[in-house]
Amino acid sequence: MMQLNALLLTLLTVAFAAGMPSKTSNSFSWRPRRFFGLRGGSTKTAAGGRLIDGEPTTMVEARTLHDGTVFPVTLSQTVSSQTVGDAAASGKNAADWVKLNRDHLVNDLLPKHGAIVLRGFDVPDPDAFSEVVRSLDLEEQPYIGGNAVRTVVADRVFTSNESPPSERIPFHHEMAQVPRFPTRVMFYCQIPSKEGGETPIVRSDEVCDILRKEFPELYERFKKEGVRYVRVAPMEDDPSSALGRGWKSTFGTEDRETAEVEMKKDEFEWEWRDNNELLTKSKKLSAVRTVDGKEVFFNQVIAAYSGWNDSRNVASRAVVFGETGDHLPEEQMKEFIERINSVAVSFEWKQGDVLIIDNRQVMHSRAPFVKPRRVLASLAR
């Protein structure tokens, strides 16, 4: 474990899964407490992570998994008067701090916990977030092949899904519907919503355990057949739909021939339709994969199946089994999605928060919200 240069790190796990910090000026350690689930309980989390009496709530901000791993792990910077001396230690430059601790964050904490929340650091605007992203020293992942409408706002930084705030975006792995997907996703909260707008996350290895144990027939079909994704894209962006990214933006081109070159790279089948719309069908893609020795439910199945109906697409037909082309069983999918929601984590965004996700093992979603809200994103490999 790398030295932290006289910097105190405290594991918060904003809900009451927090551990007691080990007070040392040059190491990172904690003693995690076991999580007591909110569902069905009689406690909820107050501001600052304290427990108060009250009615149960569905917002679970952190969980301790069966192996004792805290999900997500939340890191905060605390500085004593004796340790303030440089930009990284004083918190004046979050990018310098991330650069200093990059190996530990990327190679140790992220694979273990699946998600990291950086809270209380000085990240005032998109440019500062861009510096944090670059300090992670990860290969940039272009947003080519994605379905959502996005706008670039800084180097390697763009808006998160711009679909209407009244709509929930279901759980998904970013760009899992294409062969070239990002392995890490970074989010940054510039403006938190006063109501809603959380970014719920869930561990896909836990989801796969649920699928295998509680829905064994469905598990076997997903594992054996894989899935294919079907989508009709407009020519230009349609911000009224979560799937509204036009094919020009999707493939970064103005002409059909260049778009076809990109589709060939990913082995898509396609059909040009009236009004310059484009129907695409992916090749057969795995729905169950192995990451670091664990089976994960890595795909876009939940988002595609329970997601968006628009003038071009019907959600229940947007994903099919990869070999037979059969539609997914409605009743089983409904129960499965309910179980996924029951083990999800959803924390309240605070201004300046940065969320780093291992996209291979964690799905994310978006809760409906009341404007204003601005959460930005960056993709990497």
Q: Is the pLDDT of residue 86 over 50?
A: no
Backbone Cα Rg of the chain:
21
Using pLDDT thresholds of 50, 70 and 90, give the confidence band for residue 180: confident
Q: Is the pLDDT of residue 19 over 90?
A: no
From the list 176, 184, 201, 185, the residue with the least C-alpha distance to 366 is: 201
Q: How many CB atoms lie within 10 A of CB 68?
A: 9
Q: Is the pLDDT of residue 8 over 60?
A: no
Percent of the chain exceeding pLDDT 90 equals 68
Sign of CA dihedral 230, 235, 236, 240: negative
Of 6-15, 128-137, 147-156, 274-283, minimum mean pLDDT range: 6-15
Domain spans of the chain, in order of start: 1-122, 141-376
| Res 160: pLDDT | 87
Burial 102-118 (b: 16+ CB within 10 A, else e): eebbbeebbeebbbbbb
| Res 16: pLDDT | 32
The C-alpha atoms of residue 263 and residue 177 are separated, in whole angstroms, by: 12
What is the model's pTM?
Answer: 0.80
* Average pLDDT, integer, range 109-118: 97
* Average pLDDT, integer, range 164-189: 93
Using pLDDT thresholds of 50, 70 and 90, give the confidence band for residue 146: low
The overall average pLDDT reported for the chain is 82
Helix 204-214 and helix 330-342, axial crossing angle in degrees, nearest 10: 130
Between 315 and 79, name the one with better pLDDT: 315
Q: Is the pLDDT of residue 83 over 60?
A: no
Query: Does 3.60.130.10 match the CATH number of domain 141-376?
Result: yes
- Evaluate the omega torsion of the peptide bond into residue 72 and state whether it is cis, within 30 degrees of 0: yes
Q: Is the pLDDT of residue 39 over 60?
A: no
Using pLDDT thresholds of 50, 70 and 90, give the confidence band for residue 347: confident
**Residue 364 vs residues 98, 116, 174, 298: alpha-carbon distances, Å:** 23, 13, 8, 12
- Coil, strand, or helix at residue 261? helix
Most confident range (mean pLDDT) of 27-31, 141-145, 158-162, 247-251 is 247-251
* Average pLDDT, integer, range 149-163: 86
| Res 242: pLDDT | 74
* Average pLDDT, integer, range 216-221: 98
Between 63 and 23, name the one with better pLDDT: 63
